[in-house]
Chain A
Amino acid sequence: MLERSTDVELVRQCQAGDPTAFDALVRRHEGRAVGMAYRTLGDLDAAHDAAQEAFVAAWRAIPRFRGDAAFSTWFFRILHNLCLDHAKRRERSRELPLDKRGDDDPAVPEVPDPGRGPAEETERAELHAQVHAALARLPAHFRLILTMFDIEGMSYEEIGAILRVPTGTVKSRLNRARHALRRQLAPAMEQLAARGSLPGQDAHAEGGGAS
């Protein structure tokens, strides 16, 4: 029953003090929340901690949620701010798990693709490890915006609402963040390009292309 309720309905029930409605909201948004925190913090346990903290903060603040924005926008703004805080704290304490991760990263196991051979699987795992390391070297706000757009598939408008910036600002930030990632990945890209296995090597992967 609750699974079919909209976020707005669930929020109203939460504001009436019904924790089961909040349970439904958590289940609806937990995957994206943990994913966003994981790509930002690079540690699955820390990501769960941050996501849980964000949900509890949301529960505490939900009586004051006026519904001016969607619940997801409001919640991900809380999570975004928390992730930035956690990331800063980790950077200060020199915890850079993403940087240290290699192929044996146990956090998110690679699921073998039956369509690929062992060599391809190894290559893919190696590439993902390099992306992890490259992401870890980016500023936290770049990691967050790239995660929201490229991994979680949020729109410019959603991201703009979360960050409280205009869509144009989102686009320029995303462009800068992607360039920063490109520079970090440049050595790996060279190798992949030489082997002809660079993703999107035809430069049309996103619907555009150099003309």
Chain B
Amino acid sequence: MTCREAEDHFLAHSLGEPTPESFRAHIGGCAACRKTYAEFVAAGAVLRSLPPTAAKSGFADSVLAEVRRHEARASSAWWRLRRLVFHPAFAVGVAAAAVVAVVALGGLEREREMRAGPARIPATEGAAAPGPAEAKTSTPVSAKTASSSAEEAATEGTAGAPSSPGATAAPASAAPERRAPAKAHSAPAGGRGAAPRVSDLAEREAMGFAAAAPEESAESVLVRPVAPGARGGLAGGATMGTGAAEGGPAGGFGGGGYGGALGGRAGQPDEALGTRPPKGPIGPKGDKGPAGPAGPAGDAGASGQAASMGELFVVREGIQATTDFSFRAATVKDAIDNIALTGKLIVEVRAPLAGRPRVTVRLKSVTAVEALKRVCRKVGLEVEEAGDKRYVVVEPGEQP
């Protein structure tokens, strides 16, 4: 046995556990190993001689206060949301805001065509002319129709059209960020039957999860961020762009960071980004106020501060096989937890996740299981199915 091999048995030997005969023979005849062994034992002794550490007085009280604060916030958020969603004014507000969006969209489209140059005008005039006219005649259009129009417009990248007073002043760079709010808005108008569970609400809020409405499904999970401090509560109108007016400098959608996660990445499905997401498509940090419904991108990805993401609210309950995941998580672990919660999966993480990059993910039209696998694959982990909605995240090559 070499000295290096002998070192492998020092701990067992120091604890009186059985060691190979070859080790005992080696250490008995090797002065260098005996010295190393003495230092090894001494290192353990000095560790055990360190003074004990006690929690500060009042630590447990502060933990409980934090727990209660968390519970109260979640519960009050739910009641604010409930009051709002079930209030008749909410539906009226939705319809009004949607109509404004359609009218404004038509106007902007018309203006854009006018600016396109004289050569284009004759070609588009016939088609463009009915735009505003249609918008005017469609004033009593249902909220559902109007909001879906706004949604389509946003999907097509024309959401630069002002959908509200708050959004009128929004810079062009914020345009793609309106996509998610426009979609988010359509869900509560479509049905109010299912009520979110407070426990899910709290968990999702805490974990910084938001899933945009699915493209086609009527049942959906819809989590909506609201500016910190919940100025004006959820303020349904905020999703249509009144956030700048009601929400103050934070914009209407998340007080920084979250709007970018929801809408800013809309054109780049299925992505997991590193700690610092690119600024371009997300929007400028600190560009508050005029950002309207989408809000500034902020730097939640860089700081990892959940607080900067704003509060999140479940608008409708129910999971579909096909869902549009869109969230920003502080860590890969958070991302996995979010997906597990959303898909009601039981996910056991056995691989070390420390030091993994924070993620901003937008996964288009996938199941929760696919989302889990994709996120894990992005960071070099594998997902093993264990049956009965159970999954195990492991390092490649490791047995689950």
Contacts and interface: CB of A to CB of B under 8 A. Distances in A.
Interface stretch (A2-10, A95-103, A114-122, A169-177): A169-177
Interface in B25-46: 27-28, 33-34, 36-46
Contact of A56 (B52, B66, B331, B354): B66
B11 A171 contact: yes
Given A31-B54, A34-B55, A203-B38, A179 B350 contact: no
Contacts of B54: 31, 34-35
Contact of A35 (B41, B53, B56): B53
Contacts of A172: 8
A31 to B, nearest CB: 5
Contacts of A26: 59-60, 63-64
A47 B262 CA distance: 34
B37 A203 contact: yes
Interface in B41-100: 41-56, 59-60, 62-64, 66-68, 70-71
Interface stretch (B199-207, B239-247, B289-297): B199-207
Nearest to A184: B43
Nearest to B68: A19
Given A151-B47, A178-B40, A189-B43, A56 B63 contact: yes
Q: Mostly helix, strand, loop or mixed at chain B's interface?
A: helix
Contact of A175 (B11, B28, B52, B63): B11
Interface string A115-155: 00000000010011001000000001000001000110000
A76 interface: no
A27 B34 CA distance: 44
Interface stretch (B13-21, B113-121, B124-132, B367-375): B13-21
Interface in A18-74: 19, 22-23, 26-27, 30-31, 33-35, 38-39, 44, 47-48, 51-52, 55-56, 59-61, 63
A185 B55 contact: no
B55 to A, nearest CB: 4
Contact of B41 (A23, A108, A203): A203
Contact of B60 (A23, A182, A200, A205): A23
Contacts of B63: 23, 26, 30, 52, 55-56
Contacts of B60: 23, 26-27, 30
Contacts of A182: 36, 39-40, 42-43
Contact of A210 (B28, B42, B67, B199): B28
List of 7 A-B pairs having minimum Cβ-Cβ separation, nearest first = A199-B45, A200-B45, A84-B354, A35-B53, A150-B47, A30-B55, A206-B14
Given A110-B51, A150-B44, 13 more contacts: A22-B64, A26-B64, A34-B55, A34-B59, A52-B63, A88-B354, A124-B49, A128-B51, A131-B46, A182-B43, A205-B42, A206-B14, A210-B34
